[in-house]
Amino acid sequence: MVFPLLVCLAYGVLWIWDPAKGLGVCKSSLQMLKTVIGPLCLVFVIMTFMNKLVRSEKVAGLVGRGAGYKGPVLSILGGVISMGPIMAWFPLLKGIKEKGGSQANLATFLGARAVKPILLPVMISYFGWMFSLLLTVLTLISSLVMGWGVGIMTNPGKEKAAE
């Protein structure tokens, strides 16, 4: 609640100092809010639903060393829909690793966290569809490459033994 209060305070100071600019800033903020409120609500509902549904034991089985192509795909999906500070995820990821989760898939998850559906409408409004789509796709591809590299570097002998 501190951030919204500070923003309101800044708007108030700007309003007192220069009412015309203060009004312009308020109109711009309200327009942006109208643009993103629908997608934001949808993303919050989906994320809340997923946070209630998913448990670490189940996730470890789905992104384990023998998960095949499903592991990276689920790691990307999990990373994209995850929310909150990254530090809060470390204990859960450690638990998944201890229960058999692949380090490659954990790295893919961490890389995919850079894509935030909640921010996509704002990014599209600032940069347009093409930039936003390319950045999102390239970020997801790089998370897969990063996961693959971490998997090879952390398990050099196991990768060949699995084939």
d(CA 47, CA 41): 10
| 38 within a domain of the structure (yes/no) | no
Q: Give the per-residue pLDDT at 95.
A: 77
| 104 within a domain of the structure (yes/no) | yes
Q: Say whether pLDDT at 65 is over 60.
A: yes
Find the domain containing 69 and state its range: 54-162
pTM of the model: 0.61
Domain count, the chain: 1
Bridge partner list, 120:
none
| 37 within a domain of the structure (yes/no) | no
Q: Say whether pLDDT at 30 is over 50.
A: yes
Residue 36 amino acid letter? V
Looking up tokens 């790089």 gives 142
| 24 within a domain of the structure (yes/no) | no
| 80 within a domain of the structure (yes/no) | yes
| 13 within a domain of the structure (yes/no) | no
| 26 within a domain of the structure (yes/no) | no
Residues 120/39, Cβ–Cβ less than 8 Å: yes
| Per-residue tokens: 122 | 């704002």
